[in-house]
Amino acid sequence: GEDVEQSLFLSVREGDSSVINCTYTDSSSTYLYWYKQEPGAGLQLLTYIFSNMDMKQDQRLTVLLNKKDKHLSLRIADTQTGDSAIYFCAERRDSWGKLQFGAGTQVVVTP
């Protein structure tokens, strides 16, 4: 089973902010990632954060990392209907780049 945990579902109104949460277990993880998966499509890398950072902002996306609590979050500002998808957080645990994924959070954006 996955050691990376995410809530399974999030419903948000168009224009509001979305916050997707993730907890991971390996304190030695070097990078943490957020991927987006739309129906029938592959995984799209949205953003990532290095473990020595607390925050990273990229346009509408803000990633917060609390290393002490092993908690990662992704905030999407001004959520649009095109943001409806499944969002996966993943941790990279070794130098090979092997990723450990959570089960994904399905985000549904309503008008």
Partner 1 sequence: GAGVSQTPSNKVTEKGKYVELRCDPISGHTALYWYRQSLGQGPEFLIYFQGTGAADDSGLPNDRFFAVRPEGSVSTLKIQRTERGDSAVYLCASSQNPNNEQYFGPGTRLTVT
Q: Residues in the site for partner 1, rule: CB under 8 A?
A: 2, 4, 33, 35, 41-45, 48, 88, 90, 95-104
Q: Distance between CA atoms of 78 and 30, rounded to whole angstroms? A: 30
Q: Could you give phi then psi for residue 81, rounded to 5 degrees?
A: -60, -30
Alpha-carbon separation of residue 19 from 40, 105, 111 (angstroms): 24, 11, 18
CB of 74 to partner 1, least distance (A): 15
Shortest distance, position 67 Cβ to partner 1, whole Å: 20
Q: Which is nearer to partner 1, 83 or 91 (CB)?
A: 91
User: How far is C-alpha 56 from the chain's CA centre?
Assistant: 12
Reading the block at residue 109, the tokens are 């954006």
CB of 62 to partner 1, least distance (A): 18
